[in-house]
């Protein structure tokens, strides 16, 4: 038996529409099933409540008076004292009376036997009825207890549900507040960032403009510098090393544009015929590869003026000028430097 099957039976029973052949079986189930009793009670109340939905009609005003009048008549009839009048009896009537008396006596004996039998049956029925009432009372007590539990659970569920809904609502409010705050902060940061970006972009534009301006100025300066003849000139003084005469002195001037120069020396020793002085120029781009600038000899006073030109390599910028002593004819690389600029 499924719950659905019992629900159908309980519904039909509550409506008074359960087929007679099922009534006995359902009533037995109802007798032993408290849950089913509770369901039936609820369905029965629901069925009764249907009539509340009908349009309300008042009975005729005279109907109540008619009912009460009928009741008054019944009350009056029940209260009439029974006082039958006595009538004279004839002889056959007297005999009939005696016959009826006899028959009445026999009837009384029969009734006494029947009364005893019925009393025994009645006693049994009363006992059964008493037991049924006791069971009914117990079942109703259990049903009331269950109903109380149901009410308590329902109230508890309602409270829990209410609390949960309140917590959810508070949580939602809290999250919405946080969301609004974050949105506000985000908006503020966005505005600040945009302002900063705009400022940086403005600075970048200004810096780029300044860079362009400086480039132009630099280009102009370079152009002006290249146009200035003195700017192409390099003047260097050479100092003696420990192996040179102490009074030895030299100075050189080099024209970057013309790629030629002039060297002047004083205080040098006169070298033997197998030896010669040789001049070297170092370019800033190739500081480890001295460029041969030619050989020379000094007069009897140790002085000389030498033109520097026709070098084997182009000199972008002069970083150093050196003078060394070499064997006659010169060397590929300086071997003994006696004078050198910084």
Tokens of 139: 């079942």
Where does this chain touch another protein (CB under 8 A) — which range of 62-70, 89-97, 224-232, 236-244? 62-70
Task: Please tell me the distance from the alpha carbon of residue 87 to that of residue 138, in angstroms, as a whole number.
Answer: 60
134-173 residues in contact with another protein (CB under 8 A) are: 136-137, 140, 154, 158
Least distance in angstroms from the C-beta of 174 to another protein: 29
Residue 76 or 101 with smaller CB distance to another protein:
76
Task: Please tell me the distance from the alpha carbon of residue 182 to that of residue 180, in angstroms, as a whole number.
Answer: 5
> Is there binding between residue 48 and another protein (CB under 8 A)?
yes
Binding characters for another protein, 222-261, by CB under 8 A (x = yes):
----------------------------------------
Tokens of 237: 């003084």
Sheet of 304-308, strands arranged across? 286-296, 275-283, 318-327, 337-340, 233-240, 249-255, 260-266, 304-308
Least distance in angstroms from the C-beta of 39 to another protein: 9
Residue 105 or 158 with smaller CB distance to another protein:
158
Tokens of 174: 């809290």
Where does this chain touch another protein (CB under 8 A) — which range of 133-141, 169-177, 186-194, 286-294? 133-141
Which of 27, 32, 46, 108 forms a contact with another protein (CB under 8 A)? 46
Where does this chain touch another protein (CB under 8 A) — which range of 84-92, 129-137, 186-194, 225-233? 129-137
Q: Is the separation of the CB atoms in 274 and 327 below 8 Å?
A: yes
Collect contacts of 273-277 with beta carbons under 8 A, ≥24 apart.
273/328, 274/327, 274/328, 275/325, 275/326, 275/327, 275/328, 276/325, 276/326, 276/327, 276/328, 276/329, 276/330, 277/304, 277/323, 277/324, 277/325, 277/326
Least distance in angstroms from the C-beta of 124 to another protein: 20
Where does this chain touch another protein (CB under 8 A) — which range of 30-38, 72-80, 210-218, 229-237? 72-80
Task: Please tell me the distance from the alpha carbon of residue 111 to that of residue 329, in angstroms, as a whole number.
Answer: 181
* Size of site (CB under 8 A) for another protein: 45
Task: Please tell me the distance from the alpha carbon of residue 120 to that of residue 118, in angstroms, as a whole number.
Answer: 5
Residues that bind another protein (CB under 8 A): 4, 7-8, 11-12, 14-17, 19, 42-60, 63-64, 66-68, 70-72, 74-75, 133, 136-137, 140, 154, 158
């Amino acid at each position: 038996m499924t719950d659905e099957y019992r629900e159908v039976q309980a519904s039909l029973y509550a409506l008074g529409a359960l087929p007679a052949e099922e009534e006995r079986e359902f009533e037995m189930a109802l007798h032993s099933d408290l849950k089913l009793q509770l369901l039936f009670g609820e369905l029965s109340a629901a069925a009764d409540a249907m009539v509340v939905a009908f349009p309300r009609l008042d009975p005729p005003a005279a109907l109540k008076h008619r009912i009460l009048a009928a009741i008054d008549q019944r009350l009056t009839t029940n209260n009439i004292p029974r006082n039958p009048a006595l009538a004279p009896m004839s002889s056959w009537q007297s005999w009939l009376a005696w016959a009826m008396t006899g028959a009445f006596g026999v009837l009384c004996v029969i009734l006494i036997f029947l009364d005893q039998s019925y009393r025994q049956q009645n006693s049994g029925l009363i006992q059964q009825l008493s037991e049924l009432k006791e069971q009914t009372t117990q079942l109703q007590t259990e049903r009331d207890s269950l109903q109380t539990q149901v009410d308590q659970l329902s109230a508890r569920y309602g409270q829990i549900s209410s609390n949960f809904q309140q917590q959810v609502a508070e949580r939602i409010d809290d999250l919405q507040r946080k969301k609004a705050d974050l949105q506000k902060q985000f908006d503020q940061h966005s505005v600040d960032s945009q302002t900063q970006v705009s400022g940086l972009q403005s600075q970048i534009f200004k810096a780029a403009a300044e860079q362009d301006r400086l480039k132009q100025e630099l280009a102009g300066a370079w152009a002006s510098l290249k146009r200035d003849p003195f700017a192409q000139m390099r003047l260097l003084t050479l100092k003696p090393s420990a192996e040179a005469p102490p009074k030895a002195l030299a100075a050189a001037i080099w024209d970057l544009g013309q790629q030629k120069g002039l060297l002047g020396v004083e205080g040098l020793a006169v070298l033997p015929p197998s030896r010669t002085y040789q001049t070297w120029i170092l370019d800033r781009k190739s500081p480890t590869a001295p460029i041969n600038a030619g050989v020379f000899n000094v007069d009897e006073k140790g002085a000389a003026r030498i033109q520097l030109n026709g070098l084997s390599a182009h000199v972008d910028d002069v970083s150093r000028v050196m003078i060394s002593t070499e064997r006659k004819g010169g060397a590929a690389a300086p071997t003994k430097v006696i004078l050198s600029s910084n």
